[in-house]
Amino acid sequence: MAPSAAASPPPRWFTTRGTAKLPPFPDTWPAALLRLARLGAAAGTGPGEAGTDEGRGTDGSREAFVGIVEVLEAVETIANGDARTAFKPLGEALLRAAQALQDSLSAGPEVAEFVELLDAVLLTVRAAQTAPRPPRELRRAFRRRSAAEGLAPVCRDYKMRVDEFERRWVEAGNRPTDQEEGKTAGLGDEAEYGDEELDPLAAQTAAARALEASSDPAGALPLYTAVLAAHRATHGPDNPATLLAAEDAARAHRALGEHAAASTLEQDVLDRRAAALGPDHMDTLRAAEALARTRAAQGDFHETERLEADVLERRTRLLGAEHADTLRAAGNRASTLHALGRFAEALVVEEDVLSQQTRRIGPDATDTLVAAANLASTLRALGRLVEARYLEEDVLRRQRRRLGPDADEVLRAMGNLGSTCSVLGDYARAKELEEAVLQRRTETLGPDHPDTLLAAGNLAATLHNLRRFAEAQRLEAEVLQKRTKLLGDEHPLSVLAAANLSATLVQLGRCDEAQALAEGVLEKRARLLGANHPQTEAARVALRKTIREVLW
């Protein structure tokens, strides 16, 4: 690809030094975003299609570049000294995308990078903790063009991001968008995109996504299910709208821990997308990734690894090894290798992913922090506890600064750090973290949610280490009972709960009960994971210790 004839200098904020007070959010932001979104959508429709000349050719390339720089200049107005380290790599990435679009607006990977980096701008805005004016017309523009090749899944994710901003906007004390007076200049085209209030299915979907964004998947699921049934009846099972509705319903099922229902929907979506679009299409690969997440939640890590290895191979071949989607696929597979006990393999991949993500999008980006947390987990499994704790402390600090104290990502980081502190013998810190996580999980998700049970199991392990065995036993028995009911007695998390309860029963002198549990744990792990898996060997050692206690 030939380099651009003329490169524009970076925006002023790119090199400006000093600290500025956070100004009000600019009214020009929705208009700039809409302009950029239209250019990206037009670039994704393919050459020669009627009505898609906007943004093409030399003039269109110039417009794309100007549009991106306009967004960068808008971002400048929300930057302050603390955020500048995050803005610099973001600016570099957007400028690179602008150069690529100048060269060829029709190239698929460049368009994908374009939309991805637009989302990175929005993530950065959220990190700056400011509430934008929710650009509803932009959402309609994206929905109108979402049938363009390769753009549909990205547009869906983008819409959810806008919905989240809208919720934050109202929570900050502002009026909802439909109560605002007038319109932002430059948006226009209201009639062309339709009025979503007149579409009952769109309204139901929007309501469901608002509930989902508010951590209420139980409220969202009936709405998603009704939308899916309506689309199936009206359009049939293979229609893109039906498949998107099925993905929504599956995601809500998974959030509720209803993995069998989610898996059934996701397998059907994957089969239909592969048949209609082929195995290399972006929608097919996203469907495979969704199914892999659910298979992992079900404990079927061998099938998860098969799916993820296939996705990684295709993304590497189609997008290159350093593309954001490829790096996410590599990180997903590394997590599964970890679950399979292949820690050394996972470590190599996770170190590479973290290095590339830090260089590509900076240390505070979501994908970078996920990569750091995954690497810390593998370091802990390998016994490199001091390194793991250092990483986890850093992840927790950055997540709190980005998202506030109660975000799901923050609670997950607290739980991870608590587990490492417990293994290191810092039981007071571990207990403080784990009690806070359990309380928050119970309040927001309920006592039976998988994340709540994970928090309870972590706290029980720390209570065991503190030799508060009676308290630990009560928690562990409850976790085992609920996991068995929810996941079945052969799920890895149910087996882990049985192993932990067995160890605590030994300390309480209830050795016969402990031996029965330990024998079941060893049998299940040997059959499901293999005789040489590290968890199987740990079960074998635990059973020998339990038998010695029984004999004594």
pLDDT score at 62:
40
* pLDDT: which is higher, 20 or 309: 309
Q: How far is CA 272 from CA 96, 111, 151, 232, 244, in A?
A: 36, 25, 18, 13, 12
Q: How far apart are CA 32 and CA 40, in angstroms?
A: 12
pLDDT of residue 126: 45
Residue 25 amino acid letter? F
Is the Cβ–Cβ distance between 81 and 20 less than 8 Å? yes
Helix axes 450-465, 492-507, angle to 10 degrees: 30
> Is residue 119 scored above 60 in pLDDT?
no
Give yes or no for residue 12 having a pLDDT over 60: no
Q: What percent of the chain has pLDDT over 70?
A: 63
Is the pLDDT at 39 greater than 70? The verdict is: no
Buried b / exposed e over 504-526, threshold 16 CB at 10 Å, is bbbbeeebeebbebbebbbebbb
215: tokens are: 């951590």
Please tell me the distance from the alpha carbon of residue 344 to that of residue 354, in angstroms, as a whole number.
Answer: 16
What confidence score (pLDDT) does residue 181 get? 34
Q: Check residues 448 and 20 and name the one with the higher pLDDT.
A: 448
The pLDDT of residue 52 is above 60: no
Which tokens is 311 given? Answer: 């996705």
Give the three-state DSSP class for 245: helix
Quote the tokens at residue 359.
Answer: 């260089």
CB 213 within 8 A of CB 164: yes
Q: What is the DSSP string of 31-77?
A: HHHHHHHHHHHHHTS-TT-TT--TT-HHHHHHHHHHHHHHHHHHHHT
Instruction: Choose the most confident range, by mean pLDDT, from 25-29, 65-69, 93-97, 365-369.
Output: 365-369
Say if CB 281 and CB 273 are below 8 A apart.
yes
Report pLDDT for 65. 42
Spatial separation of the C-alpha atoms in residues 18 and 23, rounded to whole Å:
15
The secondary structure of 195-229 as a DSSP string is -GGG-HHHHHHHHHHHHHHTT-HHHHHHHHHHHHH
Read off the pLDDT of residues 443-484 as tens digits, 9 standing for 90 and up. 888 898 888 999 999 999 999 999 999 999 999 999 999 999
Q: Which residue has the higher pLDDT, 455 or 77?
A: 455
Q: Determine the average pLDDT of the residues in 493-505.
A: 90
> Where is pLDDT greater, at 449 or 145?
449
DSSP state of 413: H
Q: How far apart are the first and last CA of the chain?
A: 76
- Whether 373 shows a pLDDT value over 80: the answer reads yes
As given in the structure block, the two tokens for residue 151 are 């753009």
Q: What is the pLDDT of residue 550?
A: 63
What is the residue-wise DSSP string for 96-150? HHHHHHHH-TT-HHHHHHHHHHHHHHHHHHHHTT--PPP-HHHHHHHHHHTTSTT
Q: Looking at residue 21, what is its pLDDT?
A: 33
More confidently predicted of 447 and 53: 447
- The per-residue pLDDT for 489 is 87
Nearest to 246 by CA among 227, 259, 233: 227
Residue 371 has pLDDT above 90, yes or no: yes
pLDDT attached to residue 199: 58
Query: How far is the CA of 57 from the CAs of 22, 227, 471, in angstroms?
Result: 38, 40, 70
- CB proximity list for 218: less than 8 A, separation 6 or greater: 256
pLDDT digits (tens, 9 = 90+) for 250-259: 999 988 888 8
Average pLDDT, whole number, for the chain?
A: 72
- Say if residue 225's pLDDT is above 90: yes
Looking at domain 468-552, its CATH superfamily turns out to be Tetratricopeptide repeat domain (1.25.40.10)
Sequence-ordered list of residues with C-beta below 8 angstroms from that of 475, at least 6 positions apart, any chain: 456, 457, 459, 460, 463
Angle at 318 between CA 313 and CA 324, to 5 degrees: 85
Summarised one tens digit per residue, pLDDT across range 189-204 is 323 323 333 357 777 8
CA distance 15 to 459: 47
What are the residue ranges spanned by the domains of the chain?
9-166, 468-552
Backbone angles phi, psi at 180, to 5 degrees: -75, 145
Token pair belonging to 79 = 């930057």
Q: Output the pLDDT for position 539.
A: 84
Q: Write out the DSSP string of 475-527.
A: HHHHHHHHHHHHH-TTSHHHHHHHHHHHHHHHHTT-HHHHHHHHHHHHHHHHH
> Given this model, what pLDDT does residue 365 score?
84
Please say if the pLDDT value at position 387 is more than 70.
Answer: yes
**Rounded mean pLDDT of 324-349?**
92
Residue range 502-506: mean pLDDT, rounded:
90
- Residue predicted with more confidence, 439 or 98: 439
Distance CA(469)–CA(463), nearest Å, equals 7
Q: Which residue in this structure is represented by tokens 């300390």?
A: 507
Q: The pTM is what?
A: 0.60
Kind plus residue range of the DSSP H or E element containing 345: helix 343-361
What is the pLDDT, as a whole number, of residue 552? 62
The two tokens of residue 187 are: 């948006």
Average pLDDT rounded to a whole number, residues 239-251: 90
